[in-house]
Amino acid sequence: MQYETVIGLEVHVQMDTQSKAFCGCSTLFGQPANTQTCPVCLGLPGVLPVLNEKFLQYAIKVALALNCKVSNYLKFDRKHYYYPDLPKNYQISQYDMPLAEHGYLEIETENSTAKKIRVLRAHMEEDAGKLIHTSQSSLVDYNRTGMCLLEIVTEPDISSAHEAYDYLTRLKSILEYLEVSDCDMEKGSLRCDANISLRPVGETKLGVKTELKNMNSFKGVRDALEYEVIRQEKALNAGELIVQETRLWDENKQKTFTMRTKEEAHDYRYFPEPDLPPFTIEDKTIETVRKELPELPAVKKERLVSEYKITEYDANVISADKYIALYFEEAAKEYKSPKTIANWLMGDIMNYIHNNQLESKKLAEILPVKYLIEMLELIDNNTISGKIAKKILPDMFTSGNTATQIITEKNLVQISDTSQIETIVDEVIQEHASVAEDFRNGTDKALMFLVGQVMKKTRGKANPQIVNDILRKKLGTT
């Protein structure tokens, strides 16, 4: 039977506020265990939570950027469960009246068509602590307890692992533009649970889903979903029933395995949080936040296309990263060919950043825009070849020197002096007389070989265009 895949994602984003959701404790990452706690986030008797205003502002920002309707009524609920990382034995969350609903995020499918993934809801809640398991014992760190989380839940509109990956990438991009989270999956500031079911093609009823947890990268989410599609398909084809359950992704084995059968909402005994009375979010508060929204990636992409005449594809890649986009615009304003900037950014520069695990945020610091432009101008005025430029770029990153400094130091200035090149060309023709003859007799690729020889003798410094011209002239084909 032919099945189609149905996926819904639940993403928890840790909001990058300075203090926790309902107390004044610091949210600094990586501090000694249990040093950032207080009676409120430890849930000691008699304490009262107070909502962090920044948390609300950030949450509204995200909700608006995801095209949600923001509620005018803010209400919190208690979600009860017993677990050692949860000192109060309940989590302050939102149940029946989330902060925001009915949004969407536009993604791109495998065949590059745009598709809207509906956002069912986005609600505010507090984080739990962290358990650290050693071979002898389990330890608990409450530093994370009470941190600000926004949970963003999609409708089951996602149809493949690829689409899920694209959704996450675009969501992260938006969150980075908004400067509300560092979105670091490894640090746990972005976590994703993926719900997945299959159904026969043409069926409208949803199939039984499993919920996948424990992926610590977007690639992990994609791999886990790909694995789960095949596992469910096999089971269904064998006539087995899919059990509604939570499964964990094992990164090493590249498999999902059963963790627990799924709890239901009524297991949590939700009730309204009595210590945080509901209040009204005025329209004008929402509109103030809306006005402060930055230009978001989708809009920026279109503008880059129309303003700088780069391709949709290039604009898509560049606008996906806020810092790359900033860098691009700064450079494109100062340099005649935005397309050239785009090529360098998307090629050697992003590769370098990626391969050396640098943050794109740091790019402008490591390679100042004016250094890149200077390098491009050296190519334009034939001081260096593009090839040499590619070679010295990593040096520019590591040394912090300009292209001019590096080529002078390493004696890499391009040879454009024709008489000097002519001498070398003569040598090469002499040394490879038969190849030269082949070229005269019409074997075009023989020229490539001769150009290569000249470049070798000059250690890549000869201007390839001039070498080409001189060779053709001397071999009598121009």
User: Which residues from 36-55 bind Zn ion, rule CB under 5 A?
Assistant: 38, 40-41
Residue among 202, 207, 103, 169 nearest 316 (CA): 169
Residue among 56, 37, 10 nearest 144 (CA): 37
Rounded distance, CA 25 to CA 39, Å?
10
Q: Is residue 209 at the binding interface for ligand ADP, with CB under 6 A as the rule?
A: yes
Residue number with CB closer to ligand ADP (87 or 220): 220
Query: Residue 78 CB, nearest distance to Zn ion (Å)?
Result: 17
Rounded distance, CA 252 to CA 259, Å?
17
Query: Residue 383 CB, nearest distance to ligand ADP (Å)?
Result: 56
Q: Is residue 4 at the binding interface for ligand ADP, with CB under 6 A as the rule?
A: no
Which among ligand ADP, Zn ion, none contacts residue 206 (Cβ within 5 to 8 A by kind)? ligand ADP
Query: Residue 156 CB, nearest distance to ligand ADP (Å)?
Result: 4
Q: Is residue 94 at the binding interface for ligand ADP, with CB under 6 A as the rule?
A: no
Of the listed pieces 59-67, 124-132, 195-203, 216-224, which binds ligand ADP according to CB under 6 A? 195-203
Q: Is residue 197 at the binding interface for ligand ADP, with CB under 6 A as the rule?
A: yes
User: Which residues from 264-303 bind ligand ADP, rule CB under 6 A?
Assistant: 265
Residue among 87, 152, 103 nearest 125 (CA): 152
CB atoms within 10 A of CB 386: 12
Q: State how far the alpha carbon of 73 is from the alpha carbons of 49, 99, 121, 176, 276, in Å.
A: 18, 8, 14, 27, 13
Of the listed pieces 122-130, 147-155, 366-374, 435-443, which binds ligand ADP according to CB under 6 A? 147-155
Q: Which of 7, 25, 194, 296 binds Zn ion (CB under 5 A)?
A: 25
Do β-strands 90-93 and 279-280 pair in parallel, antiparallel, or remain unpaired? unpaired
Query: Residue 201 CB, nearest distance to ligand ADP (Å)?
Result: 15
With 0-12 / 13-18 / 19 or more C-beta atoms within 10 angstroms meaning exposed / middle / buried, residue 282 is: exposed
Where helices occur in 251-385 by DSSP H, the ranges are: 283-291, 297-308, 312-320, 322-334, 338-344, 350-355, 363-366, 369-380
Query: Residue 204 CB, nearest distance to ligand ADP (Å)?
Result: 12
CB atoms within 10 A of CB 408: 12
Which among Zn ion, ligand ADP, none contacts residue 446 (Cβ within 5 to 8 A by kind)? none
Q: Is residue 8 at the binding interface for ligand ADP, with CB under 6 A as the rule?
A: yes
Amino acid at position 31, single letter: Q
Which among ligand ADP, Zn ion, none contacts residue 235 (Cβ within 5 to 8 A by kind)? none
With 0-12 / 13-18 / 19 or more C-beta atoms within 10 angstroms meaning exposed / middle / buried, residue 80 is: middle
Q: Is residue 21 at the binding interface for Zn ion, with CB under 5 A as the rule?
A: no
Residues that bind ligand ADP (CB under 6 A): 6-10, 153-156, 195-197, 206-207, 209, 262, 265
Residues that bind Zn ion (CB under 5 A): 23, 25, 38, 40-41
